[in-house]
Structure 1
Amino acid sequence: MGVATMPSQPAPASDRKGPGRAHWLHVAHETADDLATDAPAREHAGKAPFAEVAGLRESGLLTLLIPAELGGGGADWPTAYAVVRAIAATDAAIAQLLGTHYFLSWSARCFTEPDLATRIERRSAAEQWCWGGGFAAQDPPLILTRKGRGYVLEGRQSYATGVLVADRLAVRAERAGNREPVAVVVAPTHPGVRIDAAEAFGQRLAAGGDVEFDAAPVTVHDVLGSLAADDDVLSPSAALASPIGRLLSVQLLLGLAEGALAEAREYSRMGQSSWRPSWPDGTPQDPHVLTTYGELTILTRSAAALTDQALTAVQDGLARGEDLTYDEYADISVHVTMAEATASKAAQETTSRALDIVGSRSASARLGLDRFWRNARAHTLHRPVAHQIRDAGDYFLNGAHPPFVLPA
């Protein structure tokens, strides 16, 4: 297989017919407000988010990244990141589902031929597909075997986001024989596909689950292309899929931290009210409370600043196109790695210490403040911060390129 090419880019802003960034941010905040009205109750119930996905579909957010000329929203990655972050502040699980959908629905541009990518995106927009799955390497891998004019897919993927509500699954598999990793698209309604809900303590509304493929049929057009990280297969520009996908996780974690701080602040301010004498000790004038809010605000905004730098690096890499070098790609990837590590720490510390600020009242299931901590902890387990710090250090000291890692 030849070297993968640069993913096709959206038309210049002057040629787009999409509504624009301001429109999508308005829609995202309206969606977040709607989700916030009953977030604790929905999270506690833990039902598959069919209604939430219907809301995303109705708002147009599912087709946000698809070019306008193909029937989509015509938006860019910075807009998609901002949408995920806004929604994560109230419902991180739905933000994870949406972010995974964005990456998987966009990935056809990166891992297949332009004509096939266009057909996939056009149909995805027309039928309002919600995508689920993931391209992270796993052991044992799914196996893709040639059969007749197509293929069959076999194996079990232990966890994949969005699969309970997805219209299309995009997964990583290895070709039988040469073990080449490839991206594969499968309809969840196909024979041989069985999905079991995951029993997670956090991110429960991300519609995650285990997927078993028992000789599930796959056409030749549903095998998108290679996911191999070898230099003779993956070009630096196509390798940007890794930092692009990982930056979605960063935005989700930042939204979690900001949402937890915002809710804790609301309860702290309400605690001053004379008609709530039973609220926990610690008023807005308490030095300990002020210091804690100061520390968490600084930590979260520091992570946001690194994230802005990472986003700029990714945008510069996309602008470089086929001129991007492997060294430049590595520098972009490290920017995202540093943002990942900082956002992970900010989310974990903020969502934990926000409970301390509110005090014993935060143990109330009705308030649902614990969901922030559980969601942050469950999400960060998939990519431990220790690995990110090690990769950043290895790059700084030895110039080692970070590993090519795709989102789970």
Structure 2
Amino acid sequence: MTTLVDVETQPRASVIENDEQAIAVAHELAAQFVKEDSERDRQKRLPVEEVKKFSQSGLWGITVPREYGGAFVSNVTLAEVVKIISEADPSLGQIPQNHLYMVEVIRLDGTEAQKRFFFDLVLQGQRFGNAFSEIGTKSVTDVRTRLERSGDEYVLNGRKYYSAGALLAHWIPVIASNDDGKTVIAFVERGAEGLTLLDDWTSFGQRTTASGTTILENVKVKPEHVISHYLAFERATPMGAVAQIIQAAVDVGIAKAAVRDTIYFVRNHTRPWVDSNLEYGYEDPLSIYNLGQVQIQVHAAEALLRRADEFIDRANQSDLAEAKVVEASIAVAEAKALATEASLLATNKLFELAGTKSTLQEYNYDRHWRNARAHTLHDPVRWKYFAVGNYFLNGVNPPRHPWL
């Protein structure tokens, strides 16, 4: 069904000044968001007010370059913020992923006028959704949505799916193929004639990301609202690495939430196994061993996440030297691989260690596994292992696209 979500003009957002403030604000918001995380998931209730509060906090503008009024925080801080929010509610952690991706798109390939215009919108608190992926095509890079010249403007036609956050956005950036067959991004303002947003997301996980369908029928687009996205992959840039590190941060956040709830339940509810002859479930040596295994995996995923972010920051500081960009892409692939494994392990082990009672609907702990399983399918992690192995064994650089 079509869903009209109120995204009226809001007061100008706060502006985060530095990395430390960004992390502090993220912790403050996470403490609020976690309170109704389970209920939002249970009811599939879109986090309208939470997203408003999130963007008004200034956290959606932390990667805007300093010369345009932003804090341009490190990628270490960016991933930390996403991880903190995702531990509280991974749908809220995922919703700004494409917004943050678009800020990087504008930074890398926007014209000076586009940077001034769109970065100011971001700092005001306006949100970018997305209309990137299509279904029924040969691969994710097969783009059938077309942006065609029509007089002094362009006309956009197509159908998109997995449009996370679009229902809650002020602008919908759309991936399209231009007259030359090149991939571009067309920014469509909410309310544009011919734009239809459907709340038809039915996945069992990440249920409140509003990742439904976007339909574009003869939507008019101004030339100044089009960015040549293909340029980001014709040269060495961290475009793909930034996209993937945000995804990895969401997965690590899910893993940490699962560990948090495992510890709480085992400490407060789980009975010891009859053969252990112990008084409490948390004294069970096999449970202790398994919890330790999970915690080590999650800590390792956090460490690789931070390491990968440092590689991206060094690539930016090197003026995007190709070798540094490649190293960053490989480091991010490593982090994404382990984040996937850790989130699936932690969400599975929750039930094994907590026991049958933890499966009752009143606890809704299955949301952690559902979220991990759905979110880690954004791109196949098996290809991360291939990219890493091929790089170290054969010296083959990873491909340039948004998934590496």
Same fold (TM over 0.5): yes
Q: Quick one: distance in 2 between partners of 1:26 and 1:65?
A: 16
| Contact 2:314–2:324, Cα closer than 8 Å, also in 1 | no
Matching of residues 120-135 of structure 1 within 5 Å: 120-126=118-124, 128-133=125-130, 135=132
| Contact 2:27–2:84, Cα closer than 8 Å, also in 1 | yes
Aligned counterpart for 1:291 among listed residues 282, 286, 289: 289
Unpaired segments of 5 or more residues in structure 2? 1-14, 134-139, 272-278
Q: Quick one: distance in 1 between partners of 2:72 and 2:334?
A: 29
| Matching residue of 1:6 | none
1:373 CA drift (Å):
0.6
Cα separation, partners in 2 of 1:20 and 1:330, compared to 1, 3 Å: closer
Q: How large is the RMSD of aligned CA atoms in angstroms?
A: 2.3
| Matching residue of 2:355 | 359
1:175 CA drift (Å):
0.7
Equivalent position SS for 2:149:
strand
Residue identity matched to 1:143: R
1:228 CA drift (Å):
5.1
1:59 CA drift (Å):
2.2
Unpaired segments of 5 or more residues in structure 1? 1-16, 274-280
Equivalent position SS for 2:73:
coil
Query: TM-score normalised to the size of structure 2?
Result: 0.87
| Matching residue of 2:90 | 92
| Contact 1:134–1:172, Cα closer than 8 Å, also in 2 | yes
Matching of residues 7-406 of structure 1 within 5 Å: 18-67=16-65, 70-72=68-70, 74-126=72-124, 128-133=125-130, 135=132, 137-176=140-179, 178-197=180-199, 198-227=201-230, 234-236=234-236, 239-271=237-269, 283-322=281-320, 324-325=321-322, 327-406=323-402
1:283 CA drift (Å):
0.9
Residue identity matched to 1:52: E
Residue identity matched to 1:254: V
| Contact 2:287–2:353, Cα closer than 8 Å, also in 1 | yes
Q: Quick one: distance in 2 between partners of 1:28 and 1:313?
A: 23
Q: Quick one: distance in 2 between partners of 1:209 and 1:110?
A: 28
Equivalent position SS for 1:164:
helix
| Matching residue of 1:278 | none
1:365 CA drift (Å):
2.1
Query: TM-score normalised to the size of structure 1?
Result: 0.86
**Per-residue Cα deviation, 1:350-376 (whole angstroms, up to 9, x for no partner):** 111112211112212221211111111
Cα separation, partners in 2 of 1:319 and 1:67, compared to 1, 3 Å: closer
1:61 CA drift (Å):
2.0
1:336 CA drift (Å):
0.7
| Contact 1:135–1:407, Cα closer than 8 Å, also in 2 | no
| Contact 1:111–1:183, Cα closer than 8 Å, also in 2 | no
Cα separation, partners in 2 of 1:64 and 1:209, compared to 1, 3 Å: same
| Contact 2:76–2:309, Cα closer than 8 Å, also in 1 | yes
